[in-house]
Amino acid sequence: MAPTAATIEAYDRDAPSSEATETATFALGCFWGPDAQFGALDGVVRTRVGYAGGTKTDPTYHDLGDHTEAFQVDYDPETRSFAELLDLVFRSHDPNQQTRKTQYQNIVFIASADQRETLTDYLDANGYTADGIATRIEQFSRFYPAEDYHQKYNLRNKRSIMNSFEDAGYDDEAIRESPAAAKLNGHVVGHEISDDHDLGIASNRSVHST
């Protein structure tokens, strides 16, 4: 069952504002998959995909330069911690291996002293060191949003749901930044959405990824 335009608008209206969330940036190979995976999590409010980690100005998918496909999550720190996001990142790839192709490398971007401290604590607790793993640990500098057709890629291929966003008058930027779109993008590829999220979709189970 697809959500209505009114359901989507109500969900987004009630979601935590940008001022109430914090942002984390990661890279885990092709960005479509983690965009959906992390968007389904309780406490993750918004997601977007893009390019980061390089020096080229204004990269594009077909002219990426030395950037990597990355994704951002805006999360509610009252519900989902940065440490929990890190744990899922490290469980989603092998930190002892790294692909040679820069476009698809694994990277943890650090945007603040608090994030660096949390990462250091996580690595210590799990027997890792920043210099001893293949995963890149980098200071966050800039994130370039990817082209519209990459944003909520899986959701865009679900016409029955996209019709509701169009009926609600959402443009491409609004879909990219929509909390409802983040959840539904995960839902359409099979990630479980908590029953607490009333989006008019059939769901009898809660998200197991923590």
89-95: average pLDDT: 97
- pLDDT value of position 195: 73
pLDDT: which is higher, 59 or 208: 59
pTM: 0.93
The tens digit of pLDDT for each residue in 11-21 reads 999 999 999 99
Task: Output the average pLDDT for the chain.
Answer: 94
pLDDT: which is higher, 1 or 132: 132
Q: Which CATH class is domain 5-187?
A: alpha beta
The tens digit of pLDDT for each residue in 44-64 reads 999 999 999 999 999 999 999
- pLDDT value of position 206: 38
Spell out the SS3 assignment of the chain.
Answer: CCCCHHHHHHHHHHCCCHHHCEEEEEEECCCHHHHHHHHCCCCEEEEEEEEECCCCCCCECCECCCCEEEEEEEECCCCCCHHHHHHHHHHCCCCCCCCCCHHHCEEEEECCHHHHHHHHHHHHHCCCCCCCCCCEEEECCCCEECCHHHCCHHHHCCHHHHHHHHHCCCCHHHHHCCHHHHHHHHHCCCCCCCCCCCCCCCCCCCCCCC
- pLDDT value of position 199: 87
Q: What amino acid positions are annotated as catalytic residues?
A: 30
- Domain residue ranges of the chain, discontinuous segments joined by +: 5-187
pLDDT band at 200 (very low <50, low <70, confident <90, very high): confident
- pLDDT value of position 197: 67
